[in-house]
Structure 1
């Protein structure tokens, strides 16, 4: 198909720290997202979609992702599968201080599919930067995830964080889709459509009107 997306699967920070370490992913359950990340990688490799592995690296004294630590290592689900390029970073976006932008240009990529962790941090930073660069972005909602947070601003559950960021992504920045539907789109060579700010707001307002009238 002449209009088929030229995809790359971006596997962000699937490291032991999020699974058996001190920053566990809570929602969706990490076992679910890990299985879907593996399925997405298998589908990409079968379809000839290049895979970029992204790895967060901290200082040796950092409490998480420390250089040389078990927590900082790639999880076996991704380390044991083939990928085409490795990006190591020390900031949230996979673009900042790395060769990712040039690698994508060299490989004529126009669509990024994001899996991995965390939805609201490294995934979000990468999605925003990619969207601003004119790339189409896909976010696999069941192959990503968040932990819960509490700080001076308040408390947010992992489910709330993941859900709200996913809704915002789909309104403008990324097409949010499940792994099954994404695999179907890869096999068909078709894009995954995203929503819009206006349509998202109109749907929410219609819901509110319906609730008020009930």
Structure 2
């Protein structure tokens, strides 16, 4: 098993910008992201940083704006590859798939923001491409949503996405367990529908 750690969209837009992450709190997720990066570097696991980029003048993630910049805890740490993306999945319109193949990676571990958007899109596409997927439950996060379809709190949304992804798309683990090298438990849709 050859892993790569994907750090997705850990940008100021989610910390001091228009989309502040609410759950898990940034005081929890950011240190866990930093710890995962440090552990990966120490173990020789390649780290890929993904940055969402929109056109200059866009309301969020405008290239070159303060919100577009990487959060300091990520920017200050070493990484092996930087990807700029314009779609939710880190694979769409980028060289991520080719880079993973070139480095013999068969397992990706996902950290970053937002759980139900770019994390989920990347996890599902990685699974569809035949990669094993892990997602760090406390090094990811989201915010409250409300629209014409209803409303959901950040905590409810985060938990629901983790359960849905763990039902076959990804092994959901804590950062501490991942750093310790614990073998992740994997589930599937059949097992997940028989536990309640």
- TM-score bracket relative to the smaller structure: over 0.9
Q: Does 1:68 align with 2:64?
A: yes
Q: Partner residue of 1:12?
A: 8
Report matched runs for 1:63-142 at 5 Å: 63-142=59-138
Larger proportion of helix: 1
Q: Does 1:46 align with 2:42?
A: yes
Post-superposition offset of 1:193? 2.6
Q: Does 1:193 align with 2:189?
A: no
Q: Does 1:203 align with 2:195?
A: yes
Q: Partner residue of 2:177?
A: 181
> How many angstroms apart in 1 are the aligned matches of 2:43 and 2:64?
34
TM-score, reference length from structure 2 = 0.98
Q: Partner residue of 2:145?
A: 149
Q: Partner residue of 2:25?
A: 29
Post-superposition offset of 1:88? 0.3
Structure 2 alignment gaps of length 5 or more = none
TM-score, reference length from structure 1 = 0.90
**Runs of 4 or more off by more than 2 Å in structure 1?**
none
Post-superposition offset of 1:59? 1.4
> How many angstroms apart in 2 are the aligned matches of 1:174 and 1:64?
29
> How many angstroms apart in 1 are the aligned matches of 2:7 and 2:135?
11
Structure 1 alignment gaps of length 5 or more = 205-214
> How many residue pairs are counted as aligned between the two chains?
196
Post-superposition offset of 1:191? 4.1
